[in-house]
Amino acid sequence: MLQWLRQWFEYPADPLLLAGSYDPSLVLLSFLIAVFSSAIAIHITAQAISVKKKSLRLLMLGSGSVALGGGVWSMHFIGMLAFALCTGVSYQPGLTFLSLIPSIAASWVALDLISKKQLRSLQLLSGGVLVGAGIGTMHYMGMAAMQMSVALRYDLPMFLLSILVAVVLAIIALWVRFGLRRFNLAPHWLTLLSSVVMGAAISGMHYTGMAAARFVPPPGFTAINDSNDISWQLSLAVAFITLMITGLVVAVNLLFKYRELNWQVNAKETLARENEEKYRSLISNIPGAAYRCLHNDNWDMLFISDAVELLSGYPASDFMLPSPRRSWSDLVHPADKATTTQLDLYQGGFKLEYRIRHQDGSWRWILEHGEAIKSDSGDIIWLDGFLMDISTRKQMEQELVLAKDIAEQAAEARAAFLANMSHEIRTPMNAIIGFSDLMLSDDLAPQQHKHLQTIHSAARSLLHLLNDILDSAKLEKGKLELEYTDFSLPALLDTVVSTLWLQARKKQLQLTLELDPAAGEFYYGAPDRLRQVLTNLLGNAIKFTEHGSVRVKVQLSAPSELTFSISDTGIGISPQRLPYIFDAFTQADASMSRRFGGTGLGTTISKQLVELMGGQISVQSTEGVGSCFSFTVPLQPGVALVQHNTDRALALPALSVLITDDIVQNLELLQLMLERAGHTVVAVADGEQAVAAVQQQYFDVVLMDIQMPVMDGLEACRRIRQWEQAQQRKPLAVIALTASVLDEDKVAAKEAGMQGFASKPVDFAALTNEIARVLQLNAGTTAVVVAAEPAPLQLLNMTKALQLWGSVTHYQPQLEQFLQQQQPMLTKAAEYLQVQRFDELQKVAHAIKGVSGNLALEQLSKLCGELEQAARQQQHQRADKILQQIMQNWPQYQAACQQLQQQAGNGTAKTLQQFDDRALAALLTSLHHALQRHELDDNVLKQLEIYSGKHETLILSLLDAVNDFDFAHALAVLEQLQQHINTGQH
């Protein structure tokens, strides 16, 4: 094999080698054939790229490869015919035609690479080698087919150069197609340049290979002249055949392209039909009608969907051009014509609602959405839009409007009911509370005092419930307004804790208060509502906690924000009810109302009040473990104010007072209160009498009821103001006195000319303070306490103690326990003061102050409050002076306690009594029957009041429920107590 290859490159090194010559015309013809074939092949390839069917694309690339391969072969053959050698030359047919195969293969590789969108360097290099190798193989196979008398040999360097030229030119030819894209040349220029380069590569390789050929004549060789005419004839024949084959390839590719285009057209038509069917189905399924109409008065329809028949009762063909039977505009309600014709269509889309006459004679409401389609000049060509029947929606809107009117009427009726209920309930309560207050100030027998105190407490509880209902109603309507003022945070907390301390004490609960030292003393906010929220939440915590502790914690969560937390170890809240705990009338469990009492409004009102103050409230609870209610409210720093005691009635200078009320009991109560305070009182029953009295007699102040027969208080006040202006008199002080607590009544009273407002039931302390405010009386004239109570700041206020504890028997042990527990605390307080631990001293003072207030040790409570303030301000000398005074008074407290103990021992007080469980069970059975009939058994209750034993805690809870007339709660506690006795529990 090696010897066979070597013989092709071995020839004599003498100058007897034959040299041939080229016919320039045929050389040019061969180059043009190569360029033409390349152009046709590249053009076919460009068309094949856009063909989507893979099989058709491969057929087109194959036909292009045949065209290019045939062109390369034709170029080679014509190039050989252009070479004239001094001897006869013929070609072996089989090998000559066999050389066409590598030419076509090389062409396939070239066109496949050209058809790619991107060509990487490795693909370009490998493709160039394959194409160059194919062209070279075809060339040398064609030369090997030559039959002549001389021997054909090759010069090795030139042979290798021809292969290199073929590869390099092939790479360049392939690159040109991709490299020239960056110049954004037109497709035909890009094809032409690529074809020229490809033709040059083909021709360059051929003629470089011919330059490598060496023709060795044999011995005795005689040169002869070859006929050039035959070469031309053969060349033209080959060129013609090549053109025919190329033309045939072009025709086949045109046929392929036609089929591709036909397939694409059919596919687009099919897709268009499918889309049209989809759109038709979509439009027909939409609850409405789509349309396209001309921009004229008749709205002539170019298209309208079949759904228009459902809207109007008429088929779509009745409205469509060219011969419509009716116009859409003719169906429009006459009252809505202006709506449909006065449209500004140049502003874009439009939307309108109007009525049309249905075929059945009914009127249907139509909602129309549309848009004007404009030409390039801005003129409206037609309108596209959509029509929908909204008759059902319109009917719902009318029903909603009617429902809204009904709801507003119901709200007005509810407001009127609340106002009337407030007035009607508060009017008798005014007499109950007012006269019970008066009677409590008289000297009564202990039993009478207790029963009267029960009546007073029950009335106050009913008033509290009424206030809760009214507050809830006003919060729902957004009618509740907050009254902002400066207040003392420690004082507010102390009031709340002190008020509920006794309830916690009766249940043997530990009630603690933790105030962040970083919190300020004075804030600006709504103290009444903040106190109401704290009282609700803390009251609930004590109510629903049987054992353990309740803690109130206040933290400064931001410079102007406080977080209040009330945690307990009570029954907790189930996970199912926790999300609804702030809903109205919701409690932790369905049985809570029967077991503990209450309405479930407390948390609802608390949430509404907190949100009204700009805060947030939340709850965390574990059933059986306890709950923690937390709320955060924004509070701005406040300023210290001069304290006015509005909880006590003020001794006003002797005044001439006119009271106006249509309820006889109210007149008697007010007259009795005011006359006892030293005032001159005139009472009238309606506004007309009040106007007449003012015109006949001088008064310092008028207390005017608002709701009265003949003439109400508002009209009476207006008449008085008109008379004063006519007589040029100074305005008389008029204070509204009414059972209504609605803000609307306060506004109406102010607009009528009233300067003050006091609510019923009458709170005499609040009333005297309001009179002092309206008359602008200074603090010096209002410093004396009028109520029949012991002098303020007594060491031991027995009247208050009996009101709180009910009897000496209950009070004395608590006082004795307090004195024993707190005496060591005083020693610690002195130690804290000595080492200047003011924080600890402040805590001790605060603890003693709260408990001492609930034990009616007024002077001690006041001194501890001053000690707490001095510790907060780190005033060492002042704190030391106050502490010394407390220690000096301590023996007096102990002596008073011993005196009470002696009174109890001498029989002055009731003695405690022990019962065995059998006797106690008999008493409870008798009481159970009475409570079921909503009656009281006084004999049983008297014996239970002096009970002392293991069931004392539950008996105290039972007595509290009875005193509050909460029979349901009393029965629940009684049944629990009976169960404990039966099971032997403590």
Domain CATH code at residue 678? 3.40.50.2300
- Is 80 exceeded by the pLDDT of residue 345? no
209 against 629, higher pLDDT: 629
Identify whether 761 is preceded by a cis peptide bond (ω within 30 of 0).
Answer: yes
Instruction: Please give the pLDDT value at position 179.
Output: 62
- The answer to whether position 728 is within a domain reads yes
Per the listing, tokens 């330059």 go with 211
Closest CA to 435 of 675, 762, 768, 669: 669
Please, where are the H alpha helices in 384-488? Answer: 391-440, 446-477
- Mean pLDDT within 354-362: 92
Instruction: Please give the pLDDT value at position 244.
Output: 66
Bridge partners of 629, per DSSP, are 566, 619
Instruction: Please give the pLDDT value at position 183.
Output: 63
Instruction: Please give the pLDDT value at position 701.
Output: 94
- The answer to whether position 182 is within a domain reads yes
Bridge partners of 564, per DSSP, are 554, 631
- The answer to whether position 396 is within a domain reads no
662 against 630, higher pLDDT: 630
Q: What is the DSSP letter of 545?
A: -
**Overall number of domains in the chain:** 6
763 and 809 together in one domain: no
71 and 206 together in one domain: yes
- HSE-up of 465 (CA within 13 Å, CB side)? 16
CA distance 230 to 819: 148
50 and 173 together in one domain: yes
Is residue 479 helix, strand or coil?
coil
Please give the mean pLDDT across all residues of the chain: 77
- Is 90 exceeded by the pLDDT of residue 420? no
AA letter at 91 = Y
Residue 879 class from Cβ within 10 Å (0-12 exposed, 13-18 middle, 19+ buried)? buried
144 against 741, higher pLDDT: 144
At 128, give phi and psi (nearest 5°).
-65, -40
Instruction: Please give the pLDDT value at position 549.
Output: 92
Instruction: Please give the pLDDT value at position 792.
Output: 41
Instruction: Please give the pLDDT value at position 597.
Output: 44
From 355, 389, 423, the end of a domain falls on 389
Q: Work out the number of other CB atoms within 10 angstroms of the CB of residue 623.
A: 16
Instruction: Please give the pLDDT value at position 913.
Output: 44
Instruction: Please give the pLDDT value at position 794.
Output: 61
CA distance 428 to 601: 24
Closest CA to 106 of 153, 82, 78, 141: 141
Instruction: Please give the pLDDT value at position 235.
Output: 52
935 and 898 together in one domain: no
> Pairing between strand 349-357 and 301-304?
unpaired
Report the first-to-last Cα separation within the chain, whole angstroms: 122
Instruction: Please give the pLDDT value at position 569.
Output: 93
- Is 90 exceeded by the pLDDT of residue 120? no
CA angle centred on 370, ends 365 and 371, rounded to 5°: 160
Is residue 726 helix, strand or coil?
helix
From 876, 905, 934, the end of a domain falls on 905
Q: Work out the number of other CB atoms within 10 angstroms of the CB of residue 309.
A: 16
The pLDDT confidence band at residue 446, using thresholds 50, 70 and 90, is: confident
Q: Report which secondary-structure segment, H or E, holds 230.
A: helix 228-285
- CATH of residue 563: 3.30.565.10
AA letter at 896 = A
559 against 616, higher pLDDT: 616
- The answer to whether position 591 is within a domain reads yes
AA letter at 784 = V
Dump pLDDT digits (tens) for 913-922: 445 677 778 7
List, as one string, the DSSP characters of 121-168.
HHHHHHHHHHHHHHHHHHHHHHHHTEEESSEEEE-HHHHHHHHHHHHH
- The answer to whether position 703 is within a domain reads yes
Q: Which of 370-379, 630-639, 734-743, 851-860 has the lowest mean pLDDT?
A: 734-743
- The answer to whether position 518 is within a domain reads yes
- Is 50 exceeded by the pLDDT of residue 47? yes
From 637, 664, 690, the end of a domain falls on 637
Dump pLDDT digits (tens) for 140-170: 787 787 777 777 787 888 888 888 877 787 7
CA distance 823 to 410: 62
Instruction: Please give the pLDDT value at position 530.
Output: 92
Closest CA to 151 of 221, 214, 59: 214
What b/e string do you get for 783-818 counting C-beta neighbours within 10 Å, with b at 16 or more? eebbbebeeeeeebbeebbbbbbbbbbbbbbbbeeb
- Mean pLDDT within 889-896: 83
Instruction: Please give the pLDDT value at position 135.
Output: 77
776 against 627, higher pLDDT: 627
- Mean pLDDT within 23-29: 81
Percentage of the residues of the chain whose pLDDT score is greater than 70: 76
The pLDDT confidence band at residue 52, using thresholds 50, 70 and 90, is: low
Dump pLDDT digits (tens) for 631-664: 999 999 988 755 555 556 677 888 899 999 876 7
Q: Which two tokens stand for residue 843?
A: 């805590």
Cβ neighbours of residue 39 closer than 8 Å, sequence gap 6 or more: 191, 192, 195
Instruction: Please give the pLDDT value at position 59.
Output: 72
- CATH of residue 815: 1.20.120.160
- Is 90 exceeded by the pLDDT of residue 552? yes
Dump pLDDT digits (tens) for 591-610: 444 444 445 577 888 888 89
- Mean pLDDT within 362-386: 88
Helix axes 938-945, 952-963, angle to 10 degrees: 140
113 against 387, higher pLDDT: 387
804 and 718 together in one domain: no
- Mean pLDDT within 559-564: 92
118 and 235 together in one domain: yes
The pLDDT confidence band at residue 909, using thresholds 50, 70 and 90, is: very low
- Mean pLDDT within 677-684: 89
Cβ neighbours of residue 930 closer than 8 Å, sequence gap 6 or more: 936, 937, 940
110 and 22 together in one domain: yes
496 and 593 together in one domain: yes
CA distance 812 to 798: 11
384 against 912, higher pLDDT: 384
The pLDDT confidence band at residue 315, using thresholds 50, 70 and 90, is: very high
Bridge partners of 145, per DSSP, are none
* Ordered strands of the 522-525 beta sheet: 485-488, 522-525, 636-637
707 and 590 together in one domain: no
**Is the separation of the CB atoms in 605 and 539 below 8 Å?**
no
What b/e string do you get for 366-388 counting C-beta neighbours within 10 Å, with b at 16 or more? bbbebebeeeeeeeeebbbbbbb
693 and 613 together in one domain: no
The pLDDT confidence band at residue 307, using thresholds 50, 70 and 90, is: confident
**Is the separation of the CB atoms in 931 and 950 below 8 Å?**
no
- The answer to whether position 248 is within a domain reads yes
Dump pLDDT digits (tens) for 62-114: 776 777 777 777 777 777 777 777 776 777 777 777 877 887 787 777 767 76
68 and 170 together in one domain: yes
Dump pLDDT digits (tens) for 932-948: 776 777 667 777 776 66
687 and 747 together in one domain: yes
Report CA Rg, the chain.
57
Give the range of the structural domain holding residue 42, as residue numbers without chain letter: 2-257
- CATH of residue 381: 3.30.450.20
- Mean pLDDT within 782-803: 51
334 against 436, higher pLDDT: 334
- The answer to whether position 681 is within a domain reads yes
Q: What is the DSSP letter of 622?
A: E
Cβ neighbours of residue 470 closer than 8 Å, sequence gap 6 or more: 418, 422, 741, 742
Dump pLDDT digits (tens) for 204-247: 777 787 877 777 777 766 666 655 555 455 556 665 666 666 66
**Is the separation of the CB atoms in 166 and 135 below 8 Å?**
yes
